[in-house]
Chains A and B, each alone.
Chain A
Amino acid sequence: MTATPMTTTDAGAAASAQAGTRRSGNPFAMLRRALVYVLLSIAAFVSVFPFFWMIVGTTNTSADIIRGKASFGSAFFDNAATFFTQVDALRVFWNSAVIAIVGTVLTLAISSLAGYSFEMFRSKVRERIFALLLLLLSIPFAALMVPLFVMFAQAKLVNTYVAVILPTVASIFIIFYFRQATKAFPSELRDAAKIDGLKEWQIFLYVYLPVMRSTYAAATIIIFMANWNNYLWPLIVLQTAENKTITLIVSALTSAYTPDYGMILFGTVLATLPTLIIFFLLQRRFVEGMLGAVK
């Protein structure tokens, strides 16, 4: 590739001679096309292989997994049995579910209300506060975790669901996301509802919420996944085995001196299944939801 940039006309003159053959039959174009397919196929294979590995792994013994056996074995029921004897699975799933569901509902309520309000009731002071929040978005969690831990320790709330959920509930990212989405909410609807005599909270609950349901669906997926998969903060505040989430348990099993991979991969499948199911059910909304923030 030449270092000096071609001007458009140079490039045009040079290439116009072969422009007629460019569309079809050109061996270079066909070669390039083939290369694109090869590249994408390799990328797709590399992306999907670990999932295949995870499923195959649940049927193999730990020794076979370490040896790299990539075909189905017969140890599935043994692995499941080991997992269920070592892990109080019901309890662990209950912990994960409570934290993820309660956290998601609270985050949706509090952050969507704030996002709606920042967009709907603009004032100078609130705009400044919003700008400050965006600035805080880049503060790493590492800078908060020490004081947060001390705060919850002093409040005697360590090792409780409350300690895991509360700091995540007001999410700047979700507030921002709802503010962006609210820009598309027709303000005529609010005006009409006001004329009908609805109070502001009624407008939010009975007009805004139903109209914005796809925004809520996307946000639900994002928040649920973040809560379900959250690791560092729960690792710090959940200290006894009976309160740990599935994510923490899988991590703890992996860091054993001689990890039993067959059983661990069985646990990993269980831990991944809820998010995988949600993803395939709501794939389109999920992608849209992730993009909501940049549109």
Chain B
Amino acid sequence: MPQARLDRREHITGWAFIAPALILLGLFMIYPIVWSLWMSFQVGKGMNLSFGGLANIERLTKDAVFQRALGNTFIFFIVQVPIMIGLALLFAVALNDSTLRFRGLFRTAIFLPCVTSLIAYSTLFKSMFATNGVVKNALMTLHLTDGPIPWLTDPFWAKILIIIAITWRWTGYNMIFYLAALQNIDRSIYEAARIDGVPAWARFRYLTIPMLKPVILFTTVISTIGTLQLFDEVQNITQGGPSDATLTLSLYIYNLTFKFMPSFGYSATVSWVIVVLVGILSFIQFLIARDRRSA
């Protein structure tokens, strides 16, 4: 839409209306970001900071706990995001079939977990996955296990539990984005493909996936950011344990700042690791999406 040139009054109004938001964002977002970048080069305890050059980055390379947290965060990211996106796509495609019965019911049910707070559902999962709890009873009734699984005390199973929990909470959320995108796709394309006898999997692979690509990219980036910031669940289900098996970068930053002897400079450095990772991963995802389009 061609916009008429703004007169002087409108120009002033334009600034006046965004001023409150800009001032607040400057104060509570841009200033802290710049400050934390500066802080990341500072060393010392509490507020007694002095410039340390690259000392904090050197500390990162020697810090086994940090590397543990980085590794855990990556495992959560690499295992959980594809599973969740895949399930969300599957459910969305299944629910997009207008001849399906109980669509509304299924959709509401699968979306319902998004309504819970991260804390509420963490509590629920912690109690459900207690050593002899309801999940163990269910698995044993189905003859899937012989005895209790040490969900909260074994490093491997604790990671699996966190992955199950996040997938439960966020799959429906992603599904809604795909459902909306699918509803925007022209039905006649599918109808034509079906009449031509294109099998269902090929329709999915060569029609649905390419047309959903922008939304898949969007949700993948959002999920990446979310996973790299993972905090509430690990803090409330496992407290990062057992023996740091579910410690994430955000939880480590929190511990560095508010639990151990406060080390503001170093925790700022760790937080910038997340910023850099989000940037790199989003960039890679954009590249992949663009490559596939030109291919």
Contact = CB atoms under 8 A, between A and B. Distances in A.
A149 interface: yes
Contacts of A46: 168
Contacts of A291: 176-177, 180
Contact of A255 (B105, B108, B215, B239): B239
B21 A114 contact: yes
Given A8-B196, A143-B275, A268 B133 contact: no
A50 B33 contact: no
Interface string A212-240: 00000000000001001101100010000
Interface string B126-159: 1110101111111000000000000000000000
Contacts of B109: 43-44, 47-48
B75 interface: no
Interface in A10-28: 11-16, 18-19, 22
Contacts of A166: 24, 28
Q: Is the interface of B mostly helix, strand, loop or mixed?
A: helix
A279 B115 contact: yes
B13 A68 contact: no
Nearest to A23: B194
A283 to B, nearest CB: 7
B124 interface: yes
Contacts of A31: none
Given A138-B278, A143-B271, A251-B236, A11 B32 contact: no
B198 interface: yes
Interface residues of A, number: 98
Q: Is the interface of A mostly helix, strand, loop or mixed?
A: helix
A19 B21 contact: no
B112 A51 contact: yes
Interface string B105-127: 11011111101111111111111
Contacts of A261: 127
B47 A66 contact: no
A147 B32 contact: yes
A283 B108 contact: yes
B83 interface: no
Contacts of B168: 46-47, 50
A273 to B, nearest CB: 10
A111 B124 CA distance: 34
Contacts of A120: 14
A145 B36 CA distance: 9
Contacts of A122: 3, 6, 14
B122 A272 contact: no
A63 B87 CA distance: 35
A36 B94 contact: yes
Contacts of B22: 114, 129, 170
B119 A251 contact: yes
A172 interface: yes
Contacts of B199: 11, 15
B254 interface: yes
Given A123-B14, A143-B275, A166-B28, A290 B200 contact: no
A202 to B, nearest CB: 11
A147 B39 contact: yes
Contacts of A110: 20-21, 24
Contact of A144 (B29, B218, B279): B29
B100 A149 contact: no
A170 B22 CA distance: 8
Contact of B126 (A15, A133, A140, A254): A254
A253 B114 CA distance: 22
Given A47-B109, A121-B6, A271-B117, A140 B176 contact: no
A204 B10 CA distance: 13
A34 interface: no
Q: Quick one: which of A67, A145, A147, A268 has the most chain B CB within 10 A? A: A147
Given A57-B127, A121-B17, A200-B13, A170 B25 contact: yes
Interface of B: 3, 6, 9-11, 13-15, 17-18, 20-22, 24-25, 28-33, 35-36, 39, 47, 87, 90-91, 94-95, 97, 100, 105-106, 108-113, 115-128, 130, 132-138, 168, 172-173, 176-177, 180-181, 193-202, 205-206, 215, 218, 221, 225, 228-229, 231-232, 235-236, 239, 249-250, 253-254, 257-258, 264, 267-268, 271-272, 274-275, 278-279, 282
13 contacts: A8-B193, A12-B197, A36-B100, A40-B95, A50-B113, A66-B127, A68-B134, A68-B137, A144-B29, A170-B24, A250-B119, A254-B119, A259-B127
Interface of A: 1, 5-6, 8, 11-16, 18-19, 22, 32, 36, 39-41, 43-44, 46-48, 50-51, 53-54, 57, 65-70, 110-111, 113-114, 116-118, 120-123, 126, 129, 133, 136, 138-151, 166-167, 169-170, 172, 175, 200, 204, 225, 228-229, 231-232, 236, 247, 250-251, 254-255, 259, 261, 264-265, 268, 271-272, 275-276, 279, 283, 287, 290-291, 294-295
Given A276-B115, A294-B180, 9 more contacts: A11-B202, A15-B198, A47-B172, A50-B168, A142-B253, A166-B28, A170-B28, A175-B21, A294-B181
